[in-house]
Structure 1
Protein backbone atom coordinates (compact mmCIF):
# COMPACT_ATOMS: atom_id res chain seq x y z
CA UNK A 1 0.00 0.00 0.00
CA UNK A 2 2.94 2.32 0.65
CA UNK A 3 3.94 1.93 -2.99
CA UNK A 4 0.58 3.26 -4.15
CA UNK A 5 0.75 6.12 -1.64
CA UNK A 6 4.24 7.09 -2.84
CA UNK A 7 3.13 6.84 -6.47
CA UNK A 8 0.52 9.56 -6.06
CA UNK A 9 2.48 11.75 -3.64
CA UNK A 10 3.25 15.13 -5.17
CA UNK A 11 0.61 15.02 -7.89
CA UNK A 12 -1.17 18.05 -6.40
CA UNK A 13 1.54 20.39 -7.68
CA UNK A 14 1.53 18.75 -11.09
CA UNK A 15 -2.22 19.12 -11.39
CA UNK A 16 -2.07 22.72 -10.18
CA UNK A 17 0.61 23.53 -12.77
CA UNK A 18 -1.36 21.79 -15.50
CA UNK A 19 -4.50 23.74 -14.56
CA UNK A 20 -2.59 27.01 -14.51
CA UNK A 21 -1.16 26.24 -17.94
CA UNK A 22 -4.64 25.59 -19.30
CA UNK A 23 -6.17 28.70 -17.71
CA UNK A 24 -3.32 31.14 -18.38
CA UNK A 25 -4.06 31.92 -22.05
CA UNK A 26 -7.64 32.91 -21.31
CA UNK A 27 -6.71 34.93 -18.21
CA UNK A 28 -3.62 36.63 -19.66
CA UNK A 29 -3.84 36.62 -23.48
CA UNK A 30 -0.81 38.91 -23.95
CA UNK A 31 1.42 36.85 -21.67
CA UNK A 32 1.90 34.16 -24.31
CA UNK A 33 3.99 36.44 -26.48
CA UNK A 34 6.22 37.32 -23.55
CA UNK A 35 6.56 33.80 -22.17
CA UNK A 36 7.21 32.02 -25.47
CA UNK A 37 10.84 33.19 -25.87
CA UNK A 38 11.59 32.20 -22.27
CA UNK A 39 10.05 28.78 -22.81
CA UNK A 40 12.04 28.30 -26.03
CA UNK A 41 15.25 29.25 -24.22
CA UNK A 42 14.46 26.78 -21.44
CA UNK A 43 13.80 23.98 -23.94
CA UNK A 44 17.04 24.79 -25.79
CA UNK A 45 18.92 24.61 -22.50
CA UNK A 46 17.39 21.26 -21.62
CA UNK A 47 18.23 19.89 -25.08
CA UNK A 48 21.83 21.11 -24.79
CA UNK A 49 22.16 19.52 -21.35
CA UNK A 50 20.68 16.26 -22.63
CA UNK A 51 23.12 16.19 -25.55
CA UNK A 52 26.07 16.86 -23.23
CA UNK A 53 24.91 14.11 -20.89
CA UNK A 54 24.51 11.72 -23.81
CA UNK A 55 28.04 12.48 -25.01
CA UNK A 56 29.48 12.01 -21.51
CA UNK A 57 27.65 8.70 -21.12
CA UNK A 58 28.94 7.51 -24.50
CA UNK A 59 32.50 8.41 -23.52
CA UNK A 60 32.18 6.61 -20.19
CA UNK A 61 30.69 3.56 -21.89
CA UNK A 62 33.57 3.49 -24.39
CA UNK A 63 36.15 3.70 -21.60
CA UNK A 64 34.51 0.87 -19.65
CA UNK A 65 34.27 -1.29 -22.77
CA UNK A 66 37.96 -0.66 -23.53
CA UNK A 67 38.89 -1.59 -19.97
CA UNK A 68 36.85 -4.81 -20.09
CA UNK A 69 38.38 -5.73 -23.46
CA UNK A 70 41.86 -5.14 -22.07
CA UNK A 71 41.20 -7.37 -19.05
CA UNK A 72 39.71 -10.10 -21.25
CA UNK A 73 42.75 -9.97 -23.54
CA UNK A 74 45.08 -10.30 -20.56
CA UNK A 75 43.10 -13.27 -19.28
CA UNK A 76 43.16 -14.91 -22.70
CA UNK A 77 46.96 -14.56 -22.79
CA UNK A 78 47.32 -16.52 -19.58
CA UNK A 79 47.41 -13.72 -17.01
CA UNK A 80 45.23 -15.34 -14.39
CA UNK A 81 46.81 -13.76 -11.31
CA UNK A 82 44.61 -12.09 -8.80
CA UNK A 83 45.06 -8.31 -8.44
CA UNK A 84 46.26 -8.81 -4.83
CA UNK A 85 49.10 -11.06 -6.07
CA UNK A 86 50.67 -8.39 -8.26
Structure 2
Protein backbone atom coordinates (compact mmCIF):
# COMPACT_ATOMS: atom_id res chain seq x y z
CA UNK A 1 0.00 0.00 0.00
CA UNK A 2 2.83 2.42 0.70
CA UNK A 3 4.05 1.88 -2.86
CA UNK A 4 0.67 3.13 -4.04
CA UNK A 5 1.15 6.23 -1.90
CA UNK A 6 4.62 6.81 -3.30
CA UNK A 7 3.28 6.64 -6.84
CA UNK A 8 0.50 9.17 -6.28
CA UNK A 9 1.32 12.63 -7.62
CA UNK A 10 1.28 15.49 -5.13
CA UNK A 11 -1.90 16.74 -6.74
CA UNK A 12 -3.64 13.66 -5.33
CA UNK A 13 -3.22 14.61 -1.67
CA UNK A 14 -6.96 14.29 -1.13
CA UNK A 15 -6.80 10.63 -2.12
CA UNK A 16 -3.67 10.22 -0.03
CA UNK A 17 -5.58 11.34 3.10
CA UNK A 18 -8.21 8.68 2.45
CA UNK A 19 -5.57 5.98 2.01
CA UNK A 20 -3.82 7.07 5.23
CA UNK A 21 -7.17 6.87 7.01
CA UNK A 22 -7.76 3.40 5.62
CA UNK A 23 -4.30 2.24 6.69
CA UNK A 24 -4.97 3.64 10.15
CA UNK A 25 -8.25 1.70 10.28
CA UNK A 26 -6.47 -1.54 9.39
CA UNK A 27 -3.90 -0.99 12.13
CA UNK A 28 -6.61 -0.18 14.68
CA UNK A 29 -8.52 -3.34 13.72
CA UNK A 30 -5.30 -5.31 14.25
CA UNK A 31 -5.03 -3.74 17.72
CA UNK A 32 -1.95 -1.71 16.90
CA UNK A 33 -2.89 1.73 18.22
CA UNK A 34 0.55 3.31 17.76
CA UNK A 35 0.66 2.41 14.07
CA UNK A 36 -2.96 3.53 13.65
CA UNK A 37 -2.20 6.87 15.26
CA UNK A 38 0.87 7.28 13.08
CA UNK A 39 -1.15 6.96 9.89
CA UNK A 40 -3.93 9.14 11.28
CA UNK A 41 -1.43 11.87 12.18
CA UNK A 42 0.04 11.70 8.68
CA UNK A 43 -3.46 12.16 7.28
CA UNK A 44 -3.95 15.19 9.54
CA UNK A 45 -0.66 16.65 8.29
CA UNK A 46 -1.98 16.44 4.75
CA UNK A 47 -5.39 17.75 5.72
CA UNK A 48 -3.76 20.87 7.16
CA UNK A 49 -2.71 21.86 3.64
CA UNK A 50 -5.27 20.07 1.47
CA UNK A 51 -8.68 19.95 3.11
CA UNK A 52 -10.89 17.00 2.26
CA UNK A 53 -13.95 16.20 4.35
CA UNK A 54 -13.85 12.51 3.42
CA UNK A 55 -10.26 12.26 4.66
CA UNK A 56 -11.22 13.91 7.94
CA UNK A 57 -14.18 11.54 8.30
CA UNK A 58 -11.78 8.59 7.97
CA UNK A 59 -9.54 9.97 10.71
CA UNK A 60 -12.52 10.55 13.00
CA UNK A 61 -13.77 7.01 12.37
CA UNK A 62 -10.35 5.63 13.30
CA UNK A 63 -10.31 7.69 16.48
CA UNK A 64 -13.62 6.14 17.53
CA UNK A 65 -12.20 2.65 17.04
CA UNK A 66 -9.23 3.59 19.24
CA UNK A 67 -11.49 4.12 22.27
CA UNK A 68 -10.12 1.04 24.09
CA UNK A 69 -6.68 2.69 24.04
CA UNK A 70 -7.83 6.20 24.90
CA UNK A 71 -5.33 6.47 27.75
CA UNK A 72 -2.35 5.57 25.57
CA UNK A 73 0.02 8.43 24.82
CA UNK A 74 -0.30 8.01 21.05
CA UNK A 75 -4.10 8.33 21.22
CA UNK A 76 -3.89 11.38 23.46
CA UNK A 77 -1.46 12.95 20.97
CA UNK A 78 -3.91 12.17 18.17
CA UNK A 79 -6.70 13.81 20.19
CA UNK A 80 -4.58 16.91 20.67
CA UNK A 81 -4.12 17.24 16.92
CA UNK A 82 -7.60 16.16 15.94
CA UNK A 83 -9.39 18.46 18.33
CA UNK A 84 -6.78 21.21 18.40
CA UNK A 85 -7.42 24.78 17.42
CA UNK A 86 -5.41 24.62 14.17
CA UNK A 87 -7.50 21.71 12.90
CA UNK A 88 -10.67 23.61 13.72
CA UNK A 89 -9.46 26.72 11.93
CA UNK A 90 -8.38 24.70 8.92
CA UNK A 91 -11.82 23.11 8.67
CA UNK A 92 -13.61 26.43 9.05
CA UNK A 93 -11.61 28.20 6.36
CA UNK A 94 -12.51 25.63 3.68
- TM-score greater than 0.5 by the shorter chain: no
Between structure 1 and structure 2, the one with the greater Rg is 1
Task: Normalising by structure 2, report the TM-score.
Answer: 0.24
Q: Which has the higher contact order (CA 8 A, sep 6+)?
A: 2
